[in-house]
Amino acid sequence: MIVAGARAAADVDAVAERLVPQPFGAALRVLRGSRVARLLSAGLVDHLELRTRAIDEVVAGARSRQLVVLGAGLDARAFRLEALSGTVVFEIDHPSTQAYKRARVARLTRTAREVRFVGVDFERDDLAERLESAEHDRAAPTTWIWEGVTPYLTRSAVEGTLGVIAARSAQQSVLVMTYGTPDLGTVPRVLRPFVGPAFRLLGEELRGLMTTEQAHAIVRSHGFDVVADDRVADLAARHGLRMPRLVVSEHVLVARPNASAGL
What are the C-alpha distances in Å from 259 to residues 63, 115, 116, 148, 217?
20, 30, 30, 28, 17
State yes or no: pLDDT of 254 exceeds 90. yes
Residues 80-123: tens digit of each pLDDT: 999 999 999 999 999 999 999 999 999 999 999 999 999 998 77
Note the pLDDT tens digit of each residue in 171-184.
999 999 999 988 75
Long-range contacts of 130-133 (CB under 8 A, 24+ apart): 130/92, 131/68, 131/90, 131/92, 131/164, 131/168
Superfamily of domain 46-257: Vaccinia Virus protein VP39 (3.40.50.150)
Convert the pLDDT of each residue in 177-223 to its tens digit: 999 988 755 555 555 555 555 555 555 656 678 999 999 999 999 99
- CB-CB contact of 248 with 182 (8 Å): no
Report d(CA 8, CA 18) in Å as an integer: 9
Long-range CB contacts for residues 130-138, cutoff 8 Å, separation at least 24: 130/92, 131/68, 131/90, 131/92, 131/164, 131/168, 134/90, 136/66, 136/68, 136/90, 136/168, 137/65, 137/66, 138/167, 138/168, 138/169, 138/170, 138/263
Q: Sketch the domain layout of the chain as residue ranges.
A: 1-41, 46-257
CA nearest 62: which of 174, 138, 146, 167? 174
Helices (H), 63-146: 95-105, 127-133
pLDDT at 262: 47
Percent of the chain surpassing pLDDT 70: 79
DSSP string, 192-247: HHHHHHHHHHTT--------HHHHHHHHHTTTEEEEEEEEGGGGHHHHT-PPPPPS
At 113, which amino acid appears? Answer: R
Q: What is the pLDDT of residue 38?
A: 60
Residues 6 or more apart in contact with residue 240 via CB below 8 angstroms: none
Q: Give this prediction's pTM.
A: 0.88
Nearest to 135 by CA among 157, 109, 114, 156: 114
Q: Does the pLDDT value for residue 43 go beyond 90?
A: no
Find the mean pLDDT for residues 22-33.
61
Q: 29-33, 103-107, 119-123, 148-152: which has the minimum mean pLDDT?
A: 29-33
